[in-house]
Structure formats: structure tokens, C-alpha cells
Amino acid sequence: MRVAFIGDIIGRPGRNHIKKELKKIRETYSIDFVIANGENASHGFGITHESADELLKCGIDVLTGGNHTWDKKKDILALLKTAPVMRPHNYPDGVDGTGLKIFEVNNQKIAILNLMGIYGMPQVTNPFIVAQEVVKQLNNDGIFHIFVDFHGEATAEKRVMYELLKGNVSAICGTHTHIGTDDFEVANGTFYVTDIGLTGCRDNVIGMDSHVPLQKALTGLGGHFDIPKSCKTIFQIMIVDVDENGKAIDGMKLKLFSDQHPILTQALLS
């Protein structure tokens, strides 16, 4: 089985790059299932019905969330009930939606688990305890193909999650920082990367127009972040090969640029 992760999709530039490339990538690399973080897909903050529909029609199978999940509250509350759209699973009990969904791919059940870190994030329950409990229950139910989107600010939290779940899940891919890391590896049957990195504008500040971040850096005065009207874009996607027992056996990262040749790099096997 070959499963792909796309990091934070930032506004229209990110959606347009996916629309242009994803179906071709799925075919070229024989990808069976695509997970993408969609919490920034609608002008950088939240996701609307229109944006979710557009991305799902492009070849994404499920959209995960994070701290911006609720920014388009009316839309997301309906999407969580009617579409393959998720929010972090470790929000407190009683919050709408779920961060755990199970799909059937190539006659195998696969679980997608969306979690959010603690540092610098909204109030959530302990993601490490939640992860342990969910993975144990999934294994008891005979599900071993488990793919985790861990949405977190702190790199150390993501690494702790890897050490906690290594050998018990197929892949852990970090999202949220919008900055891709080069530490992807496969160990004990688990693929890991601290952060996939954004898909969207790359010649600015984490996908947003540089004006407000520069103003804040120089004066301490903030403002509303906007998506640039024109920019150079990047599309970042992790591709993971998993065996019949849910063990990762290989992985790679593909980076496509609007103005450069693509880059493909392999994961380190340890």
C-alpha cells in the first residue's frame, strides 16, 4: 500500500498547485490514499465547503485539521458531519467531529488519527495519552495500518510522539509550522517526519504576505495576515510504502516548485 501526506495547504495558491499536480502524482507514483491538512485552505484560516469540495475532487481522500479548524465555524460544523474532514482527536469530550476515521483501502482497513500538540495551542487533552489509548484499541480491533497527523508547534513534542508510537503505527507526519524538515526516516516499521511543510506560497513568510510579519518584527504592531495575490509556490508531499502488516518499509518526499525542477528525496532507513 502506498499512502501520501500533504502538509498545510495555504489558501488559493496551495489549492491551485494541488489542482494542477495531484492527479498526475497519484497516477505516476501509484498512490492508493492521500491525507492532507486542510485547516488553512480557505485564505489561510479554516476551510469552507467550497474549498473542501475542490480539494476532495482533486484526489485528496481525507482532510485533517488543527488549531485553525474552527475559523470558518459554520462550514466546519457541517463538514465534520457530512464529509471526510477531521479535527484533532484530543479536543475535550463534547466537541463536534472526530479525529479518528477508518477507511478501506485495497481490502485493508486503515486508520487516520489527527492529534494536536500542547505547546502554544488551544486547550486540548494530553495527546500522548490519547494516542496510546487509540492505538491500543485499534490494534485490539485488528487494525494495524495507522497514519498519524500530529499538528504541533514544538518539534520536541513531535519527536516524543514518534518515540512513544514507533513500531506501533505506520507513519507519523507532523504539520503546523509550514516549514518542511529533512529528518524523515523509517525505523521499526514507522515512517516519521517532524513537519511536512506547507503547500502554497513560498517566497514570503510561512505562506502569507510578508508585510504584516515584517511590520510586527520591526514595530511590535501586528495585523491581519493575507495570502499574496501572486507568488512562487511549492507543493510538498510525503509518500510512504507500507506492507500488509501495516509496517512502513520505505518513504520519500516530493517537492514541486512553480518555477524550478521538482526534487525527490528518499527516507533514511535505520
Grade residue 229 by pLDDT with cuts at 50, 70 and 90.
Answer: confident
pLDDT given for residue 267 in this prediction: 85
Share the mean pLDDT of the chain.
96
Domain 2-269 of CATH type 3.60.21.10: yes
Non-local (6+) Cβ contacts of 131 within 8 A are: 113, 115, 148, 161, 164, 165
pLDDT given for residue 144 in this prediction: 98
Instruction: Encode pLDDT of 105-128 as tens digits.
Output: 999 999 999 999 999 999 999 999
The catalytically annotated residue of 17, 68, 176, 178 is 68
- Among 5-9, 53-57, 252-256, 262-266, the minimum mean pLDDT is found in 262-266
Instruction: Encode pLDDT of 88-103 as tens digits.
Output: 999 999 999 999 999 9
C-alpha cell at 86: 477531521
Enumerate the domain spans of the chain.
Answer: 2-269
> Residue 81's CB: how many other CB atoms inside 10 A?
10
Question: Mean of the pLDDT values across residues 1-23?
Answer: 97
Nearest-angstrom CA–CA distance, 132 and 163:
12
Instruction: Encode pLDDT of 26-39 as tens digits.
Output: 999 999 999 999 99
Q: Is the confidence at residue 268, as pLDDT, over 90?
A: no
Residue 186, strand partner residues: 191, 269
Nearest-angstrom CA–CA distance, 120 and 140:
33
SS (HEC) of the chain: CEEEEECCECHHHHHHHHHHHHHHHHHHCCCCEEEEECCCCCCCCCCCHHHHHHHHHCCCCEEECCCCCCCCHHHHHHHHHHCCECCCCCCCCCCCCCCEEEEEECCEEEEEEEEECCCCCCCCCCHHHHHHHHHHHHHHCCCCEEEEEEECCCHHHHHHHHHHHCCCCCEEEEECCCCCCCCCEEECCEEEECCCCCEEECCCECCECCHHHHHHHHHCCCCCCCCCCCCCEEEEEEEEEECCCCCEEEEEEEEEECCCCCEEEECEEC
Question: Mean of the pLDDT values across residues 35-46?
Answer: 97
Task: Give the sheet arrangement for strand 100-105, strand by strand.
Answer: 100-105, 108-116, 145-151, 171-175, 190-193, 185-187, 268-269
Model's pTM, two decimal places? 0.96
Active site residue 68: yes
- Backbone dihedral region of 70: left (phi > 0), alpha (psi from -120 to 50 degrees) or beta? alpha
User: At which residue does the C-alpha cell 467531529 appear?
Assistant: 97
